[in-house]
């Protein structure tokens, strides 16, 4: 009887670990089912820009709070709208305030996802890591801040992938939060700045009926700047590896 209770207790414990991630997946599925992704497009901003601006002007405290809540929720459930919402922030609140709101909200949402995924997968994955994979995991854990900073600065992997990946390793929450907030700042303020001067582009898009996307606004210069920032952040990691090799 005692053994059976222990087994049932273990199963309940495992289910409890997966519950937060299950809720996130359910919310993401519900968002798609309700067609919320159709509202998070630049073309929608073009159509509703006057109403949104009027709401922000009428509610200077509530509007930023609601925006941060929406942004954090979108990031937490990995809804593909980060770039567009960041441009929204620059357009509605100005690039400085809008960028600051996004940094806080995105970091909060990413941390929620990180904690949910860590609760669900970390122990299972770590038990199965061995050999080269285990060494890579230990290397990531030892230089977690630097690796995360590079991953955040370099626009190579989707935002949700970088949110989830550290959950598979023994990365401290404060390290994750600090690297995320610092790493997303350049890209966030760049996208918010794009939104700051978007009025004429939105008007032209609305008149032409063109479905404007974030990719239409990103220049090669911005992409190269992100890559350069990632390379700069990578330098300390390379130096550390070279020193470790010499010591051996």
pLDDT digits (tens, 9 = 90+) for 74-100: 999 888 888 888 888 998 999 899 999
C-alpha distances (whole Å) from 153 to each of 115, 124, 149, 179 are: 21, 29, 6, 10
Residue ranges making up the domain that contains 152: 2-247
- Asked whether the beta carbons of 109 and 73 are under 8 A apart, the reply is yes
C-alpha distances (whole Å) from 25 to each of 37, 116, 117, 136 are: 15, 11, 11, 28
Predicted pLDDT of residue 132: 46
Question: Which residues are CB-contacts of 125 (< 8 A; sequence separation ≥ 6)?
Answer: 168
- For the whole prediction, is pTM greater than 0.85? no
Predicted pLDDT of residue 245: 59
Question: Which residues are CB-contacts of 196 (< 8 A; sequence separation ≥ 6)?
Answer: 90, 91, 94, 95, 98
For residue 25, what pLDDT band results from cuts at 50, 70 and 90?
Answer: confident
Q: What value does the mean pLDDT take over residues 46-68?
A: 91
Tally of domains in the chain:
1
- Asked whether the beta carbons of 199 and 45 are under 8 A apart, the reply is no
- Res. 172: pLDDT tops 70: yes
- The structure tokens listed for 171 are 């990365």
């Amino acid at each position: 009887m005692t053994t059976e209770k222990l087994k049932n207790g273990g199963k309940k414990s495992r289910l409890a670990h997966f519950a937060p991630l299950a809720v996130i997946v359910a919310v993401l599925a519900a968002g798609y089912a309700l067609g919320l992704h159709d509202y998070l497009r630049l073309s929608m901003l073009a159509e509703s820009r006057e109403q949104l601006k009027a709401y922000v002007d009428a509610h200077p405290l509530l509007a930023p709070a609601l925006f941060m809540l929406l942004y954090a929720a979108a990031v937490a459930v990995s809804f593909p709208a980060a770039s567009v919402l960041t441009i929204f922030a620059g357009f509605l609140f100005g690039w400085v305030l809008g960028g600051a709101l996004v940094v806080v909200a995105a970091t909060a949402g990413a941390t929620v996802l990180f904690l949910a995924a860590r609760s669900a997968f970390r122990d299972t994955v770590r038990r199965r890591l061995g050999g080269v994979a285990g060494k890579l995991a230990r290397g990531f854990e030892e230089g977690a801040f630097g690796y995360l900073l590079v991953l955040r600065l370099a626009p190579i992997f989707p935002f949700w992938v970088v949110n989830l990946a550290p959950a598979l390793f023994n990365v401290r929450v404060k390290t994750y939060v600090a690297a995320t907030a610092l790493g997303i700042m350049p890209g966030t303020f760049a996208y918010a700045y794009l939104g700051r001067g978007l009025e004429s582009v939105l008007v032209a898009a609305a008149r032409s009926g063109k479905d404007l996307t974030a990719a239409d606004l990103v220049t090669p210069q911005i992409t190269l700047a992100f890559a350069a920032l990632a390379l700069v952040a990578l330098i300390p990691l390379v130096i550390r590896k070279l020193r470790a090799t010499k010591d051996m």
